Chains A and B, each alone.
Chain A
Amino acid sequence: METIISIKPLIAVLVSICAVPLLILSKRSNIRETWTFVAAGAKFLIIISMLPAILNGNQIVYTLAEVVPGAAIKFRVDPLGMLFALVASSLWILTSAYSIGYMRKLKEHSQTRYFCFFALALSATIGVAFAANLLTLYLFYEMLSLATYPLVTHHQDKEGRASGRKYLTYILGTSIGLLLPAMIISYNVAGTLEFANQGFLAGTCSKGLVTMLLVFFIFGFAKAAIMPFHGWLPAAMVAPTPVSALLHAVAVVKVGVFSIVRVLTGVFGIELLSTLDLGLVICVAASFTIIVASLIALTQDNLKRLLAFSTIGQLSYIVLGVGLLSPKGMTGGILHIAMHAFGKITLFFCAGAIFVATGKRNISEMVGIGKRMPLTMAAFFIASLSIIGLPPTGGFWSKWYLVLGSLEAHQIAVLVVLLTSSLLNAAYFMPVVYKAFFCTPEESMFEDKVQEAPAFCLVPLMITAFVTVMFFFYPQPFFRLATMVVKGITGG
């Protein structure tokens, strides 16, 4: 376990920011999109290039500037961050491809702005992934909130305006109102903000204060959409589908949960939480969210809203997994970051593809669509399997470890929650697939001829679907990273 000083993390963060001027300056749309691809590819390669070092148990550190004594703008690449960065950057490539297809087909306005802020959002995401202390994390967290605002409100119509407001109110409100004070308080009691494997709050403050901070942090990261701060996520579904796909299935919400995981492990530390048995608080909040979100999802007819609520539920799996404070549970939770990402993005891609090809948004209008877009719906089916947590998909592993973790922690209630929610997941996904494929010709709403979305849309979702399956047979390297993380934080 040695520490490498390298500027790579900074580059990885900055590369897409650097792309922004190029995007603005490029005259023709083709050039612009080429730049997007270049940036995405570069980012991915840089991050991959750091992977081996991490897998060998090293960590890469780079300090930009010491802004506040004890809290610098500093990057540290460790397994957890690596895992998240890998997911985000690899998915950016696919999403760029997808969004090109989507935006062009629908002739959206001001695409340059769209791609610019997309790039910014990605930088922020990687920044969060590699943040070495709470300050840096907060910095990029805020940057992400602001960068995604124009994306969420891309259409600039009444609806977009309303949801944009809601989005900012939730995200900024919580981050300024809860997160900032919590951060400053912990800085004042601990004198540092540096993430430590065992957390830095241990032994610095009373139980009451710790509990308060915990609550502040968990709800402060409203991007994790833990109830009651979940309202923005369904509202944000007015955004163009690629945005929803990347940001609201991967970047934004995952940044939320990722931050929570970071804080729980790096600020509080597992020992502290288990000695004060605060894990229960987390579990309760998470379980509640899981069940309620799944129930709400049952009632949705708009496909994207359904996916949104399912996301809310799935995010809490991750929090729950860490909240169990048991090695296996944490492994499951962390794995779920990756698994759910691929599964959910596939689903969003499908939803988008359906919209692009047929202009349909609601499930009730999709009867028999399987005949029309077999590939898309096949991908949809696989992805939903992964979300439910059935083999042969990656989702199975994460779910499996969560279950093991709940047993390990002797939390039968949690086990029940997990199983129920899986059933509920099945209950809201299967009808869609069923209706799509098995219906009599007369109740089908589409004439019986295959007509898929444009290739730019189709290929990415095929890839992600394939990857989901692949993860079942080959969960490396994510599995390895996850175990390393757990080994690190449990000191085992």
Chain B
Amino acid sequence: MPDLITSIVDYYNYLIYVILMMIGLYAMIAKKNLVKKIVGMNIFQTAIILFYVSIGAKKGATIPIIQHGHGEGAHEIVPSVIEAAEYINPLPHVLMLTAIVVAVATLGVALALAIKVYNRYETLEEDEILAQIRET
């Protein structure tokens, strides 16, 4: 039992991201409303972002901006040695910046499409649309 708890404590972001992802996936598969599907899609992507960011986390480390003075010639005063352990892993953040942007772009396109669909069928309920298609 305690080891279960410890493992949960160790892995809780991962657990949470899995749960989030499941929610999103469920919304995308089960929901009939197109916009709800889009929302699900976003949750899905966010879950992955959470996953990556949790990879980046590092105990006892700070944000990856190197301490340095300001003003003239600040760049020359480089701290003698930079300990990798002091800063968290920057790479996942970089990747996620990309992923976020991609998510936003996808969202925009998806909304545009949804609007187009709405203009055509006057509804966003998938089954109603299918019914209309079957009639024609």
A and B touch in the complex (CB under 8 A): no
Instruction: Identify the A interface with B (CB < 8 A).
Output: none
Instruction: Identify the B interface with A (CB < 8 A).
Output: none
